[in-house]
């Protein structure tokens, strides 16, 4: 059983002024004793506001919303990277975030060494890494290239390897931020199939993306975020429809702004 | 108008609403998750994550010396040349017998190298790991232990130089030599808590790294590393009051075949207890904030 339950979760992200982050300023502020009106406070961004959510086994959730609506923040809250400022987060099951496939890759290490380094950082044990090597070699078709430093790889080769390592896991809760494009067209289909299998292995799958048609294909539910607020959580078709209607309505309300940007 | 540039550097999704809030008041009023759970998540799990920090540390070392012929043994070679040169010159400067001075210098300097390098590099512990920190939740201690372990590996490469030195200058191993193990362990504990505190503070206050670097540099000259305590004459207070002296003694004395003084054990042990408590308290209380400081 896996589940993700968010109860009244808010996340405020502090922004530090360069001058504010300095020790000297902190000391001065302390010794002068609050002469600066803002001392002891800093600007914060409300990235998520009072979000309530319940996601259960079998839910394939699409995370939709404009840029800066809090999608990445929500994923980071579920993966425990961001502790909530208030509210409670209850996640049952091991979380496997895949925000950046090249995470943990070391340019000067060989392909095989990278499988070990990145695999370990992704939380695999030594024997799991060992067992996965054949699969990765098979999938990447890199052959002897795996024995040379990845520094010498082309972008596409690098991505293949990173993608293969990142998708070798057995996640209970899989989080993906943006769907990744992988190399050439031939490879894309192979990558897409592998991705689908990874998604199928997971109990809960949450993906943030902008491509509605792909999302309809792989998800059954959707979360719509706007300015850090949870607008709607439910069946994907109705959420996407409501979001579309809302954007149409907003456009109708502000025709002059539309022409200004167009 | 610093604000604008700050928003661009922000770790997470861009701004929607920007409002000044009173400090971390909100998070202080509503502490989420008990202290003991954070302790277990951050500190116990940090040690348990050893497969991760050892792999990271080895990769750091490999990256530094990749494609070089001698690899990490460059550290050994440069340390060897340094000790030979300094040994010949300084033994005269301090009117010290070269047969005493060179073993003394090579033992002390390698230990000091471990302490000082770890201290200096610890201030970057979280910033060098920030790509991972912002994507995968690992205990923060993982990144500190990576720095400590990396420098311990370097230490093992430098301490090799002591073997030919001991043979040439007839430093014979005896039972006291075995004390090098508990001595080194105590140094590691002390270095780890200091690194933890510095890692947290340096992430929040960006002036810390240069301050630390300055203090470390001064301590190298102020501590009996390159000069023997005996050169102070009768008044050895300057050395006795220096905690660095006692830490170094815990390893250097056994290496030279003598037992460290009881005072050194007491100070080393006392600092370990107090320091670890402070470091643990600091890490537990700030664990929920660190990611936002990066």
pLDDT, tens only, A199-243: 888 999 999 988 888 888 889 999 999 989 999 999 999 999 999
Token look-up 């400090």 returns B23
CB contact (8 A) between residue B20 and residue A122: no
Q: How many Å apart are CA B194 and CA B191, to the nearest integer?
A: 5
pTM score of the predicted model: 0.85
- Complete edge-to-edge strand list for the sheet that includes strand B18-22: A86-92, A3-15, A41-56, B18-22
**Beta bridge pairs of residue A230:** A225
Cα separation, A76 vs B40, in Å, equals 21
Contact B52 A104 (CB under 8 A): no
DSSP labels for B126-191?
HHHTHHHHTTS---HHHHHHHHHHHHHHHHHHHHTTHHHHHHHTT----GGGGGHHHHHHHHHHHH
Share of chain A above pLDDT 90, in %: 28
Structural domain spans, chain A: 3-93+212-261, 98-202
**Which of these CATH numbers, 3.60.70.12, 3.40.50.300, 3.90.660.10, 3.30.2010.10, describes A3-93+212-261?**
3.40.50.300
A103–B132 CB contact, under 8 Å: yes
Q: Tell me the shortest Cα–Cα distance from B62 to chain A, in angstroms.
A: 8
A vs B: CB pairs below 8 A:
157
Q: Find the residue in B nearest to A14 (Cα).
A: B292
Closest by CA to B120, choosing from B47, B46, B195, B221, is B195
pLDDT score, position B30: 42
Radius of gyration of chain A (CA): 22
CB contact under 8 A, A86 and B56: no
A7, β-bridge pairs: A88
* Cα–Cα nearest to B197, from B107, B112, B119: B119
Rounded to whole angstroms, the Cα distance separating A61 from A221 reads 5
- Residue B13: pLDDT over 60: no
A204: burial class by Cβ within 10 Å (0-12, 13-18, 19+)? buried
- What pLDDT digit, counting tens, does each position of B21-36 carry? 433 344 444 445 578 8
Q: What is the CB-side half-sphere exposure of residue A223 using CA atoms within 13 A?
A: 25
Ranges in chain A, pLDDT < 70: 17-42, 179-185, 254-262
Confidence (pLDDT) at B37: 87
pLDDT digits (tens, 9 = 90+) for B123-162: 999 999 998 999 889 999 999 999 999 999 999 989 999 9
Partner residues linked to A242 by β-bridges: none
E strand or H helix that includes residue A60: strand A60-64
Under a CB-based contact definition with an 8 Å cutoff, are residues A182 and A163 in contact? yes
Least CA distance to A105: which residue of chain B? B59
ipTM: 0.83
Please write the tens of the pLDDT for every residue from A176-203.
887 655 556 677 788 888 888 888 889 9
Q: Looking at the domain covering A98-202, what would its CATH class be?
A: alpha beta
- Cross-chain residue pair A43–B63, CB shorter than 8 Å: no
Q: How many CA atoms lie within 13 Å of A125's alpha carbon, on the beta-carbon side? A: 3
* Pair B39, B284: CB distance under 8 Å: yes
Residues in chain A: 262
Residue of B271, B281, B232, B226 whose CA lies nearest to B252: B226
Minimum distance, in Å, between the CA of residue A11 and any CA atom of chain B: 10
């Amino acid at each position: 059983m896996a589940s993700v339950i968010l109860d009244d979760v808010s996340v405020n992200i502090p922004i530090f002024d360069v001058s504010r982050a300095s020790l000297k300023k902190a000391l001065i502020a302390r010794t002068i004793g609050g002469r600066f009106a803002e001392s002891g406070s800093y600007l914060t961004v409300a990235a998520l506001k009072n979000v309530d959510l319940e996601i259960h086994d079998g839910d394939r959730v699409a995370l939709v919303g404009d840029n800066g609506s809090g999608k990445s923040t929500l994923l980071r809250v579920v993966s425990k990277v961001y502790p909530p400022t208030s509210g409670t987060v209850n996640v049952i099951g091991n979380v496997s975030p895949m925000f950046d496939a090249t995470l943990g890759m070391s340019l000067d290490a060989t392909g095989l060494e990278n499988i070990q380094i990145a695999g370990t950082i992704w939380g695999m044990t030594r024997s799991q890494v060992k067992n996965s090597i054949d699969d990765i070699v098979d999938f990447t078709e890199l052959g002897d290239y795996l024995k040379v430093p990845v520094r010498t790889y082309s972008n596409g080769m690098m991505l293949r390897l990173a993608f293969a390592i990142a998708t070798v896991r057995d996640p209970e809760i899989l989080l993906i931020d943006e769907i990744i494009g992988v190399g050439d067209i031939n490879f894309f289909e192979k990558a897409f199939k592998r991705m689908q299998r990874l998604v199928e292995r997971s109990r809960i799958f949450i993906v943030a993306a902008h491509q509605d048609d792909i999302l309809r294909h792989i998800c059954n539910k959707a979360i719509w975020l706007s300015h850090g607020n949870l607008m709607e959580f439910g069946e994907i078709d109705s959420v996407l429809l409501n979001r579309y209607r809302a954007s149409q309505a907003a456009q109708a309300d502000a025709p002059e702004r539309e022409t200004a940007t167009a | 108008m610093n604000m604008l540039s700050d928003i661009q550097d922000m770790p997470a999704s861009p701004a929607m609403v920007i409002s000044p809030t009173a400090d971390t008041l909100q998070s202080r009023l509503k502490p989420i998750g008990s202290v003991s759970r954070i302790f277990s998540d951050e500190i116990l799990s940090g040690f348990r994550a050893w497969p991760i920090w050892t792999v990271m540390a080895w990769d750091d070392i490999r990256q530094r010396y990749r494609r070089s012929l001698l690899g990490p043994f460059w550290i050994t070679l440069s340390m060897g040349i340094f000790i030979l040169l300094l040994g010949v010159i300084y033994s005269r400067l301090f009117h010290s017998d070269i047969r005493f001075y060179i073993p003394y210098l090579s033992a002390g300097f390698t230990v000091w190298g471990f302490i000082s390098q770890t201290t200096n590099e610890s201030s970057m512990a979280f910033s060098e790991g920030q790509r991972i920190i912002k994507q995968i939740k690992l205990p923060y201690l993982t990144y500190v232990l990576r720095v400590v372990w990396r420098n311990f590996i370097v230490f093992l490469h430098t301490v090799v130089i002591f073997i030919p030195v001991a043979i040439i200058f007839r430093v014979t191993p005896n039972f006291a030599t075995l004390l090098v193990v508990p001595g080194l362990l105590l140094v590691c504990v002390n270095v780890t808590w200091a690194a933890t505190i510095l890692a947290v503070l340096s992430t929040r206050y960006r002036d810390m790294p240069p301050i630390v670097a300055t203090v470390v540099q001064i301590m190298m000259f102020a501590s009996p590393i390159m000069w023997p305590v005996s050169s102070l004459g009768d008044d050895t207070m300057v050395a006795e009051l220096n905690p660095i002296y006692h830490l170094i003694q815990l390893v250097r004395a056994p290496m030279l075949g003598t037992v460290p003084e009881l005072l050194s054990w007491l100070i080393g042990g006392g600092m370990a207890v107090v320091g670890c408590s402070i470091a643990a308290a600091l890490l537990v209380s700030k664990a929920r904030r660190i990611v936002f400081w990066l």
